[in-house]
Amino acid sequence: MSDVEVVQPVPPRADQRPVTTTLHGHTRTDEYEWLRAKDDPEVIGYLEAENEYTQARTAHLAGLRARIYDEIKARTLETDLSVPTRVRGYWYYGRSFEGRQYGASCRVPVTDPDDWTPPQPAADARPDEPALPGEETLLDLDELAEGHEFFSLGGSSVSPDDRLLAYATDVVGDERYTVRVIDLATRELHEDVLTDVLGGVTWGGSSDHFYYTTVDDAWRPDKVWRHHLGTAQADDELVFHEPDGRYFVGVGRTRSRRYVVVAASSKTTSEFHVLDANDPAATPQLFAERVDGVEYSLEHAVIGGRDHFLVLHNANGPEFELGLAPAVPTPASGWRPLLPHDLAVRLEDVDAFADHLVVSQRSNGTSQVRILDLGDDPEAPVVGDRLVEFPGELATVGAGSNPAWEQPTIRVGMTSLSRPSAVYDHDLRTGELVLRKQAPVLGGYDADDYEEHRLWATSTGGVQVPISLVVRKGVRGESGTDPVPVHLYGYGAYESSMDPYFSVARLSTLDRGAAFAIAHIRGGGEMGRHWYDDGKLEHKQHTFDDFAAAARHLVETGWTTPGQIVGEGASAGGLLIGAVANQAPEAFGGFVAGVPFVDTLTTMLDATLPLTIPEYDEWGNPSDDPVAYERIAGYAPYENVADLPYPPILAETSLNDTRVLYVEPAKWVARLRDRAPRADVLLRTEMAAGHGGVSGRYRAWEDRAFTLAWILDRLGLADRDPA
């Protein structure tokens, strides 16, 4: 029998159409900028050719992908419900159903106004059966999604009289939503249809008007509008316009429902405007004018029967403090400290209730929920101060849905790398923590089969970088010290904290012998505002140094061996992956870059692109600042592609992404193929999705199964059966 030659698929090659530009004395040539023409059939053809190549190169993983998908499905309770949340006279909850992508939102009337114990819906109720007596289906999301490849609910909000529901949908993936209003009694849609809205709406104090935001040509939310039901969108009132391209605008309502607040915020500065929620013709009143470098937010509190504003701000220090001000325009000099600035505690948020405050904060790399009890004396309003205690060093905790001003309990959530998310009610009178629900994981899952670790890697300047790691017990051999393959995740931007979290899908890698780790690198917010500041602008290189240091630490301490680490990051984390691939390719056995911000310099040079101007405070302005130009050019992945020993790379993107355009990874992959001919690079483009990927849970499982199968293959675990 003669040998049969296996023909390997040939990777696509994008045409080179060089465009040369010169700025600040630097000349750069871009061969692939033509790929930005999204509507060009040639561009679509190239992306489809890359998809076909990726499918061919990963065909051997089809069985593994199917097994991972089946494992995710088998571990998931497909027909399930959320814990009901009380809003005025109703309990609200969500339902999911086996075989359905999206689920439904429901409510039932409150039967006893004095009983704050959430009702227990029947978890096994069929889709055509109520989970609780008197159940009312507000939105059937599968019905709304019918006929669309993509569907996203941007938000839904019930009117103050509980009769109407305003909801926003996106069926493309570009995050430009259409708002409709439905009468919950008659199920009839109002004639009001609002287009090109960013997210959902905020109702005023009555049910005849609401507020919403729209974006400019650069996809920056810049305007707040007031819509009166029964009128055309063209007649809506412009409530606020922010002309400065560095600022994003948002609108919301205080928890007391007394005020509507409009925020204008850049990366470093903010100001708030306040409207009387009960006045349908109210004009915004400036609370405190913007001061460069000062960020603040407002929450309404009633102390001793008088209205006040809680001001969370950084006027007196980088980690923020909580101040108290009268409910009138007040400059920073009039914000009296309630929680003074503390370098060891980053105050992140505050929610006001009738007689207490809930503060979300961070200390030593972990999240915390803090309760402040309020008295009647505005001069000394805090009469109690305590933390909600949870076990475990690596637990991630946070305030949950707490919409009722007068509620006697606080909804909090907890998760970790090995513990599924759990919902608790904290009784403010007794201090008791009552478990309402832990996300079910089927198939005999036991958190005690896994162990969590907090490690510390030494990076640039001797800085200690925390790493959170989980591994299945026993995979490190009898000694407990054998090296194992590691899936290492990172982000490191915008002060976003990548806290430990549970993932059902991740079990498919853990049970095959891999460890999973999160590197809490600078640029994120895990260790406080200073951690963020030390990983942005002129300090951005620290982000990349920290991720490489984490990988090397895992090798040096015996957790793994060289080449047995796959690094993954998405969006700004994709920039991380691209930069580290150029700077430290030898430390990794593979990279996954999701919707990656890899053409950083091109994007930051084009002020017409989405998000560029507001991002100047994060990365710098290379158009006007030659130092920023050189700095970004020094780490931007696309600029620094060379003939390096790259490990295999999987780049994933979405055609309709408005945040990080598909063209960035497309150009990056094209240049990698040309300048690094030895590199094994794959590009996978979702042709009907946005920044968050595909919609629908089953499609999302398939999508994640694809990525995890590729990672397992790179880690040498593709043929291993799960424990």
Instruction: Point out the residues that are catalytic.
Output: 571, 657, 691
Which residue from 197, 93, 182 is spatially nearest to 144, judged by alpha carbons? 182
**Paired sense of beta strands 515-519 and 486-489, if any:** parallel
CA distance 659 to 230: 34
> Which residues have CB under 8 Å from 232's CB, separation 6+?
none
DSSP string, 105-144: EEEEE-S-TT--SPP---TT--TTS-SSTT-EEEEEHHHH
> Which CA distances in Å does 193 have to 84, 168, 230, 265?
29, 10, 10, 28
CA distance 158 to 659: 29
CA distance 111 to 119: 10
CA distance 262 to 361: 23
Q: What is the CA radius of gyration of the chain?
A: 26
For residue 294, the surrounding DSSP H or E stretch is: none
How many CB atoms are located within 10 Å of the residue 680 CB? 15
Find out whether 591 and 579 touch, Cβ atoms under 8 Å: no
The strands making up 409-415's β-sheet, listed across from edge to edge, are 396-399, 409-415, 422-427, 433-438
> Which three-class secondary structure state does DSSP give residue 44?
helix
DSSP string, 579-616: HHHHH-GGG-SEEEEES----HHHHHH-TTSTTTGGGH
> Which residues have CB under 8 Å from 578's CB, separation 6+?
593, 596, 598, 637, 638, 668
CA distance 246 to 628: 17
CA distance 404 to 86: 7
Backbone angles phi, psi at 530, to 5 degrees: -60, -30
> Which three-class secondary structure state does DSSP give residue 243?
coil
> Which residues have CB under 8 Å from 448's CB, separation 6+?
none
Q: Which residue has the tokens 């560029």?
A: 612
